[in-house]
Amino acid sequence: FKPTLNTIYYPGSNIDISPSKTASFKGSRIIYVDTDEKVIQTLKEKRYEAYLGNAETFNPGEVNLLLLLNFYDEEPLKYVVEKGYIMCNDHWTGTLRKILGKNHFELAGVFTDENQELKVDEETLREETLRINSQTPNPSRNMANLFVFRKK
């Protein structure tokens, strides 16, 4: 599992710069977008590519990876290139069910609670897909797990 990550888009990033500190993303263009002027000013002062805006109206162009952490918005999905990825959690918003409900995205991997190892085996993906689909409309908050979806 070694996706091409030329451009990463992180709407609603707030002050979270963890993508820039992640070895797997080294050399990638990371676009941070938030509605808080002070956050954007701070990020720019630290030389990060940051823009004042929101997920509904900001156009990052084509992206290889969309980070949706702690919120969900439909608009950014359209910028993910074919065979590109979404990495998300399911804190507060039911993001997993919403993305899984889109016929052009499939679950491609799960970072587990145990050791934050990415699991991509068919059995794990099948179990997680069933678990996601069986959740009530107010799904449990899976803050520790990250899920990776691939655009078909």
Q: pTM score, two decimals?
A: 0.85
Residue 31, amino acid: I
Residue 34 has pLDDT above 60, yes or no: yes
Task: Please provide the average confidence, as pLDDT, over all residues in the chain.
Answer: 85
pLDDT tens by residue, 110-135: 887 666 677 888 888 888 888 777 76
Q: How far apart, in whole angstroms, are the C-alpha atoms of residue 82 and residue 151?
A: 5
